[in-house]
Amino acid sequence: MPMKLSNKFNEIRQNFLNAVSNGAPQEEQAKLYNEMIESMTNEMMEQARQAAHEEVSAMNPYDAKLTAEAREFFNDIDKTAPAGVEKLFPQETIDRIFEDVVNSRQLLQHIGLRNAGIRLKFLTSNQTGQALWGKINGAIQGQLKQAFNEEEAIQNKLTAFVVIPKDSEKFGPAWLQSFVSAQITEAFAVALEAAFLNGDGDDKPIGLSRTLTGTASGGKTTYAEKTAETTKLTFADSATVVKELTTVHKYHSVKSDGKSVAVEGKVVMVVNTADAWDVKKQYTSQNAQGTYVTAMPYNLILVESVAQTAGKVTTFVKGRYDAFVGGGIEFGRFTETYALEDLNLYTAKQFAYGKAHDEKTAAVWELKIKQ
C-alpha cells in the first residue's frame, strides 16, 4: 500500500532531519521524531477510517499469495500481541519491508544496507597479504590472509509506531500486511537515512558526515561533524568540474593507513534535493542529436537526500561503510494508554548499526555554485 502523506507531514519530517543534521540535543531530536511519527499516525488513521467504510472482503485475492505463517500472523494480530508481549514479524514480511525501505531511498541503496536477519552481530574483516606468481610446488611466497576482527554488535534500537483498525478482521491478512508494512517502511526509511548520513552515535549509527573519534560526556559518546575540506565545489565549467572532482577522487583513493583503493565508479555524492538542480544544470548539455544529457566525470554517482545539509555535499566510497539492520522486527501492543476510538497502537522495533571503515571513507565539501 503506497503512503499518501501530506505536505504538512513533509515539513514535520524535515524539522526532524534538520535537527539530526545540526546535532540538536537528543531530547529535541526525540521530540521531533515523535512529532513526525504522530503526524504520520494521524494521517494513516484517517486513511484507515476511510478504508474501513469500504467493503474489503476477507477473501481478498491477494491473501492467497501470503504464506501460511504470514496469514496466521495478520489474521490473529490482535490476539497474538497482548500488551507487553512482543512477537517477531513473519520473515516474509520482514524481507518485504527491508526491500521496500532500501528501494525507497537512493542513499540506502548505494550505502549497501544489509539485513543481518535475526542476528544482532556481524564480523568485520580486512584483507592482507598478496598472491605471487610461481610454480605450484614452489615455496609459498605469498599468503592471502583474512583478518577477522571481533564481532560488532547491532545495538541501536529503532522504534516505529503502527496503527491498526480495531475491526481489522474486515480487511483480510493481505491488506493488513500491506497497511502495516507501509507505515513501518516510511518511518524506518526516514530514520535510517538521517542516521546513516548524520547520526552522532548517541543511540544511533555514526553517520558518514561524522568523525570516527568520539567524545565521552555524561556517560555517552558522541561523534562530531567532519570539517569541510578546503576545496570548494563550484562546478563552474567543464575544466573546473574535472579539476574539482579529481581532488574528490584522489582524497578517497587512499585509506587512512596509506593504502591505495580503487574508487572510479564507486564515489557517491550526496546532495540536498534543492541543491541537486544547481549541480545538474552545471553539467547538463545538448548533444548532436538534440537530446539533453547529464554526465559527470569519472562516473560519479549523484544521490539526492532530504537529510543532506543544504550548501554542502557528502561524498563516500561504496562498500566502505558498514550498514546493517538486524534482530528481525519485534511487534507488540503499545504498553501505554493511547486514546484512539477505533484504532489500536503498536510498536515495531528493529536494531541498526552504521560506521565507516575509516576517516577517508567519507568527506564533506562546501558548494559554491553561482546562481
Q: Which residue has the higher pLDDT, 216 or 71?
A: 216
Cell numbers 516474509 label which residue?
A: 92
Burial class (CB in 10 A: 0-12, 13-18, 19+), 286: exposed
Neighbours of 89 (CB within 10 A): 24
Planar angle of CA 281, 285, 290, nearest 5 degrees: 135
Whole-number pLDDT of residue 52? 52
Tell me the average pLDDT across 201-208: 93
Question: Is 205 a residue whose pLDDT tops 90?
Answer: yes
Instruction: Tally the C-alpha atoms within 13 A of residue 7's C-alpha that lie toward its C-beta.
Output: 0
Q: Name all domains of the chain by residue range, CATH numbers in brackets.
A: 7-125+150-211+321-355 (no CATH), 213-320+360-366 (3.30.2320.10)
Q: How many helices and strands, by DSSP H and E, does the chain display?
A: 8, 15
Whole-number pLDDT of residue 242? 93
Question: Is 366 strand, coil or helix?
Answer: strand
Whole-number pLDDT of residue 126? 56
Question: Is 86 a residue whose pLDDT tops 60?
Answer: no
What is the average pLDDT value for the chain, to the nearest integer? 80
Whole-number pLDDT of residue 255? 96
Whole-number pLDDT of residue 75? 65
Helix (H) or strand (E) holding 87: strand 86-88
Tell me the average pLDDT across 38-62: 60
Q: Which three cell numbers stand for residue 75?
A: 489474521
What beta strand segments (E) does 263-320 contain?
A: 267-271, 284-286, 292-294, 301-304, 312-317
Instruction: Give the C-alpha separation, 193 to 203, whole Å.
Output: 15
Whole-number pLDDT of residue 360? 97
Tell me the average pLDDT across 242-248: 96
Longest dimension (CA), the chain: 79
The pLDDT confidence band at residue 288, using thresholds 50, 70 and 90, is confident
Lowest model confidence (mean pLDDT) among 79-88, 158-167, 247-256: 79-88
pLDDT tens, residue by residue, 121-153: 666 655 554 454 544 444 444 444 444 455 567
CB 152 within 8 A of CB 353: yes
The pLDDT confidence band at residue 218, using thresholds 50, 70 and 90, is confident
Instruction: Give the C-alpha separation, 274 to 252, whole Å.
Output: 25
**CB burial readout 2-39, b (16+ within 10 A) else e:** ebebeeebeebbebbbbbbbebbeeeebeebbeebbeb
Question: Is 354 a residue whose pLDDT tops 90?
Answer: yes
Question: Is 83 a residue whose pLDDT tops 50?
Answer: no
The pLDDT confidence band at residue 61, using thresholds 50, 70 and 90, is very low
Cell numbers 484507515 label which residue?
A: 48
pTM, full prediction:
0.77
